[in-house]
Each structure stands twice: as structure tokens, then as C-alpha cells.
Amino acid sequence: ERHDISEYDEKLVRKYIKKIKVYEDRFSVTFKSEISVDIERAS
């Protein structure tokens, strides 16, 4: 099941996300469950 995020929710971010690393070509999001997701930057 897919859900889109339509607005930023600070409370939700703090609840689920442990850290976000910003690289030149991508973002790396680590959740508190220790799952990491790399997201490529759009050109």
C-alpha cells in the first residue's frame, strides 16, 4: 500500500526518523528501526 506525504509533520519525523545524511548525489534516511533508504537527487 502506497502513501504520499503531502505536508511536513515535525512530530511524525521525530517519531520515526533517526537521522538524515545529505550527500552531493543522494540522501540517506535512517529510521529508528535501523532501516536505511538511499534517495537519489533529481537532476
Q: What is the reported pLDDT for 43?
A: 76
Distance of alpha carbon 35 from alpha carbon 13, whole angstroms: 15
Q: HSE of 13 in the Cβ direction (CA atoms, 13 Å)?
A: 8
For the chain, what are the domain ranges? 10-40
* H or E element at residue 16: helix 10-16
Which residues neighbour 10 within 8 Å (Cβ) at sequence distance 6 or greater? none
Mean pLDDT value across residues 16-29: 96
Distance of alpha carbon 7 from alpha carbon 10, whole angstroms: 10
Residue 22 · residue 8 · CB < 8 Å: no
Mean per-residue pLDDT over the chain, rounded: 92
Q: What is the pTM of this model?
A: 0.69
